[in-house]
Amino acid sequence: MSPLLSTSTTAVSRWSPTFVPGPEWPSFEKFRLSGGTALEAIATGSVATLQVKSSRFRILRDDDFQRLLGLASEVHRLKRGITIVVQAAKVVAKHPEDQDGIQLLFQSASLLSESNILPERDGHESFQITPEEAAEYGEGDLDNIRASDIPRPKL
C-alpha cells in the first residue's frame, strides 16, 4: 500500500520580508523631540533606526512584526519537520523491508506540506474607552487623580 503524496507546491505566503530603510534618529533626544509623529513616519514595509549611545534599535510596525513572527514560526516548524523526516529516512535505510518505517517516512514527509499558510496574528487591539465606562466615571473624574495617590507595590 503506497500513500498518495501531493505534488503541488504551494507558496507558504505571498508576503516577502523585503524591508526598506525608514526614518533614522541619531539620538533618543531627537526621537523624543519629534514627538508622536516620529512613529507615524514609519511606513508599512520599512524599518526605522534609533541610535542610543552604544546600541542600535530597529523599529517596525506591528503588522510587519506579526508577519516576521509568523515566518519565524514556520521556519521553526519546517526545521523540526525536516529533522523528523531525516530520522524516518535513516530508519528506512537501516530496515528497508519494514512497512511501518516506510509508512512513517511517507506520513512525516506529507506533514510538511500540510501547512501552506503562515501563522499571523492581528496584533493588539487599540485601547478604547466605551461610552458606558466614560459615564461610570463622569466628566473629568480621571483628570483629578494625582500620581502620588496611586498605591505602589511594595518590594
How does pLDDT run across 110-144, given as a tens digit for each residue? Answer: 877 776 655 556 666 666 777 887 777 666 666 66
Q: Is the same domain home to 79 and 116? A: yes
Q: Kindly state the percentage of the chain with pLDDT values over 90.
A: 17
Residue 23 lies in a domain: yes
- The residue segments making up the domain with residue 75 are 62-120
User: What count of other Cβ atoms lies within 10 Å of the Cβ of residue 13?
Assistant: 16
Residue 132, pLDDT score: 81
In a domain, 4, yes or no: no
Rounded to an integer, the average pLDDT of 56-85 is 87
Sheet of 55-59: strand order equals 20-25, 46-52, 55-59
Q: Name the DSSP letter for residue 117.
A: S
- Is 86 a member of any domain? yes
Grid cell 517516512 in the structure block, residue: 105
**Are 102 and 80 within one domain?**
yes
Q: What is the mean pLDDT of residues 19-34?
A: 91
Banded pLDDT at 24 (limits 50, 70, 90): very high
- What does the block give as the cell for 116? 501552506
**Does 112 reside within a domain?**
yes
Asked if 81 and 67 sit in the same domain, the reply is yes
| 145 is a domain residue | no
Shared-domain flag, residues 42 and 88:
no
Residues 56 and 70 reside in one and the same domain: no
- Residue 96 falls within a domain, yes or no? yes
Mean pLDDT of the chain, nearest integer: 78
46 and 75 co-located in one domain: no
On whether both 104 and 71 belong to a single domain, the answer is yes
Shared domain check, 70 and 55: no
**What confidence tier does 107 reach under pLDDT thresholds 50, 70, 90?**
confident
Higher pLDDT, 5 or 122: 122
The structure's pTM equals: 0.55
Answer yes or no: do 52 and 76 share one domain.
Answer: no
Q: Are strands 55-59 and 46-52 parallel, antiparallel or unpaired?
A: antiparallel
Do 32 and 67 fall into the same domain? Answer: no
Q: Are 31 and 38 in contact (CB under 8 A)?
A: yes
Give how many domains the chain has, as a whole number.
Answer: 2
Residue 147 DSSP one-character state:
G
Greater confidence, 34 or 15? 34
Residue 9 predicted with pLDDT over 60? no
The pLDDT of 79-86, averaged and rounded, is 88
Residues 67 and 47 in one domain: no
What are the φ/ψ torsions at residue 98 (nearest 5 degrees)? -80, 110
Domain identity same for 47 and 89: no
Query: Is residue 26, in this structure, part of any structural domain at all?
Result: yes
Q: Which pLDDT does position 23 carry in this prediction?
A: 93
2 has a pLDDT exceeding 50:
no
